[in-house]
Amino acid sequence: MTAKTGDILSIENITKSFSGVKVLSDISFGIRSGEIMGLIGENGAGKSTLIKIISGIYQPDSGSLKLDGKETAIPDYITAKSLGIAIVPQEFNLINTLTVFENIFLGNEIRRRPGLLDKQKMRELSAKQLEDLKMPVRVNQLVSSLSVAEKQMVEISKALMLHARLLVMDEPTTTLTSREVETLFTLMRDLKSQGVTIIFVSHKLNEVKTICDRITVLRDGNLISVDEAASVNEEDIARKMIGRKDFAKIFPEKLPREAGTEVLDVNGLVVKGLFDGLSFSLRRGEVLGFAGLVGSGRTELAESVMGLRPVQGGTISVNGKTVHIKKPADALRYKLGYLSEDRQGKGIVQGFNLPQNVTLISLKEYLKWVLIDKKAETDKTAEYVRAFKIRAASDKMQLRFLSGGNQQKVYLSRWLDTGPEILILDEPTRGIDVNAKHEIYEFIHQLAERGISCLVISSELEEVIGLCSRVYVMREGKIAGCLEGNHINGEEIMFHATGIKGST
Ligand SMILES: Nc1ncnc2c1ncn2[C@@H]1O[C@H](COP(=O)(O)OP(=O)(O)OP(=O)(O)O)[C@@H](O)[C@H]1O
Ligand SMILES: [Mg+2]
């Protein structure tokens, strides 16, 4: 294949295997200069692997890359940078013990003269960049204190600061709400008008359709199609991704809301600087939603209930009895589970394999006297692998080698394995492809049918609307509204989330 004129990058016959398993086979397509190219495919299809090859993190087994028509080796990330390629990686690459501006300029520091950093300048530029992204983060803050959405914006700022010609973004919107996505899109359109080329990965097909000029679909490491975005609809793309005509309905039927007894009752919760007397309740077998903008306090609320933050006042009752939850182990004792939104930071253990990750909390169930019953552990893991179609070459694989979406599925399995009665799921389908989402939604409904109460925090409007039978909307640390039945719609949720009428 020869590169077309007008292509900034031409991917030619790229093949890549890991331990004998082919992950990309003979991929060839071109990226036009100045376009936004969408790259989509199911979890494990090979998107991140291809992106890592383009940005020098991985080397292909065969095939080549042509930049501006010239065959170019990209042996490492530094070379990619010098060639004008910047990447927003799927898994954050930030250093927690450094500040926001230090992270943004890490490896790209501005100096007044050799050896002397121009911190003032770096602070100013970082602040300006974050302001453009409408992210109210202080540049002197430590990255460890940021929410995942804020970390995402720091990662985006870091890439933008390189003023690259080719910007590669691997799922930059998974942690953002629709408003923040809009801001990011405005910025991407600006960059495009300045001639920057962008490769954009997302599982949200509406986003891909909205922002991209063309869309490339990968399936099982094969190139399926490259289409003009205007010529395909979301269903067409989904079909190409899955490779089947029949396309399961995404959301299961909502359960008729039965007024089960209250299993969790939070009354007058006070957490300094966050909540000043917040109350809500969760009923048996209910799928309860928590909607709101990023920063509205939903994650902090979950963390407070789970004993991850000191609580100054109010009561928490489980099954009618007041309980004192001072640490996560207390919450576990009352059969509360919490899937954190921060899979990477607070969830999976990168160096552990699948069974070790699944049974991390429920391990005592697998003990035979003092030994771990490995067979029981492996069998149980295989059940989750089947239920969620977790894609891994073997269950002995360390989690770090699984694709992002597959890591999320393993993390979810861990919580299911604790046998919770109350399960708080913070952005449970983050990074999960459209098809696999369906399985997770079905599963949440099955849990509810078995009497397990699920509290789902989600920034995807569609998800809370399709999944939950009752929805609390938070705004600035307060419950702004509680919606049921037909009132669970985008308009009413956004009204409570923002306080502005007609805001969707
Ligand atoms: N370093 C590695 N060693 C072994 N296998 C790997 C490695 N990196 C990726 N893989 C495997 O390659 C396949 C493709 O992974 P990749 O991360 O490219 O998927 P993806 O399309 O980005 O999926 P997702 O939407 O879940 O992020 C997966 O099966 C994954 O386990
Ligand atoms: Mg990926």
Ligand nearest to the CA of 52: 1
Name the residue of 16, 401, 434 to mutate for ligand 1: max ligand atoms within 8 A of Cβ.
401
Distance 150 CA to ligand 1 centre (A): 25
Give the pLDDT band (50/70/90) at residue 175: confident
Q: List ligand 1's pocket residues with C-beta within 6 A.
A: 18, 23, 41, 43-49, 90, 391-392, 401-406, 431, 433
State in Å: Cα 90 to ligand 1 middle: 11
The reported pLDDT for the residue numbered 243 is 83
From 40, 21, 6, select the one nearest 171 (Cα to Cα).
40
Kindly identify the ligand whose nearest atom is closest to the C-alpha of 45. Answer: 1
Nearest residue CA, atom 18 of ligand 1?
A: 46
CA 47 – ligand 1 centroid, Å: 8
* CB hemisphere CA count around 398 (13 angstroms): 6
CA of 48 to the centre of ligand 2 (A): 4
- What is the Å distance from ligand 2's center to 79 Cα? 22
Among 144-148, 317-321, 389-393, the range with the most confident prediction by mean pLDDT is: 317-321
- C-alpha span between 406 and 429 (Å, rounded): 11
Query: Distances from the Cα of 298 to the Cαs of 161, 277, 291, 329, 332, in angstroms?
Result: 31, 14, 8, 21, 20
Q: What is the pTM of this model?
A: 0.86
pLDDT band at 369 (very low <50, low <70, confident <90, very high): confident
Q: Find the 229 Cα to ligand 1 centroid distance in Å.
A: 25
pLDDT for the residue numbered 245 = 60
Q: How far is the CA of 360 from the centre of ligand 2 (A)?
A: 24
The predicted pLDDT at position 435 comes to 81
pLDDT at res. 438 = 85
Residue type at 407 in one-letter notation: Q
User: CA-to-CA distance for 81 and 166, rounded, in angstroms?
Assistant: 10
Q: Which among 383, 425, 442, 433 is positioned nearest to 405, based on CA atoms? A: 433
| Helices and strands (DSSP H and E) totals, the chain | 16, 24
CB 425 within 8 A of CB 457: yes
If 0-12 CB within 10 Å is exposed, 13-18 middle and 19+ buried, where does residue 115 land?
A: exposed
Instruction: Give the tens place of pLDDT for each residue, 285-338.
Output: 999 999 998 788 999 999 999 999 999 999 999 999 999 999 999 999 999 999
Cα gap 242→75, rounded to integer Å: 33
409 Cα to the center of ligand 1, angstroms:
14
Alpha carbon of 17 to ligand 1 centroid (Å):
10
| Closest residue CA from atom 9 of ligand 1 | 401
| Residue ID of nearest Cα to ligand 1 atom 29 | 44
Q: What CATH superfamily is the domain 7-242?
A: P-loop containing nucleotide triphosphate hydrolases (3.40.50.300)
Rounded to whole angstroms, the Cα distance separating 45 from 221 reads 5
Candidate from 14, 15, 16, 18 with most ligand 1 atoms within 8 A of CB, to mutate: 18
Average pLDDT over residues 472-499: 93
The 3-state DSSP composition of the chain as helix, strand, coil percent (nearest 5) reads 35, 25, 35
Q: Where exactly does CATH 3.40.50.300 map onto the chain?
A: 7-242
C-alpha span between 308 and 356 (Å, rounded): 23
Using CA atoms, how far residue 97 sits from 103, 160, 347, 357, 398, in Å, is 9, 22, 19, 26, 25
Question: How many other C-beta atoms are found inside a 10 Å radius of the C-beta of residue 18?
Answer: 13
What separation in Å is there between the alpha carbon of 264 and the centre of ligand 2?
A: 36
Task: Report the alpha-carbon distance of residue 142 to residue 128 in Å, rounded.
Answer: 18
On average, the pLDDT of the chain sits at: 91
> Of the residues 15, 19, 22, 49, which should be mutated to test ligand 1's pocket, given the most ligand atoms within 8 Å of the CB?
49
What atom of ligand 1 comes closest to residue 203's alpha carbon? 25
Per the structure block, which two tokens stand in for 105? 């300029």
Ligand 1, residue 42: give the atom nearest the CA.
Answer: 25
Q: Are strands 287-292 and 336-339 parallel, antiparallel or unpaired?
A: unpaired
Q: What is the pLDDT of residue 1?
A: 53
- Identify the residue with better confidence: 279 or 1: 279
Whole-angstrom CA distances from 412 to 164, 294, 418 are: 36, 22, 10
Which ligand sits closest to the CA of 216? 1
Give distance in angstroms: CA of 143 to centre of ligand 2: 23
Contact 106, 158 (CB under 8 A): yes
503 has pLDDT over 60: no
Check if the beta carbon of residue 291 is closer than 8 Å to that of residue 461.
yes
Name the E strands within 329-430.
Answer: 336-339, 367-368, 371-372, 422-426
Residue 247 pLDDT: 60
Mutate to test the pocket of ligand 1, among 17, 403, 410, 429 (most ligand atoms within 8 A of CB): 403
Please name which ligand lies nearest the alpha carbon of 405: 1
Tens of pLDDT, residue by residue over 70-83, are: 999 999 999 999 99
pLDDT score at 450:
87
**Of the ligands numbered here, which is closest to the C-alpha atom of 398?**
1
Three-state secondary-structure class, residue 334: coil
pLDDT tens string 24-44? 999 999 999 999 999 999 999
Looking from the CA of residue 405, the nearest atom of ligand 1 is: 26
Range 411-424 average pLDDT:
92
Q: Which atom of ligand 1 is nearest to the CA of 47?
A: 21
Measuring from atom 19 of ligand 1, which residue has the nearest CA?
44
- Res. 4: pLDDT tops 80: no
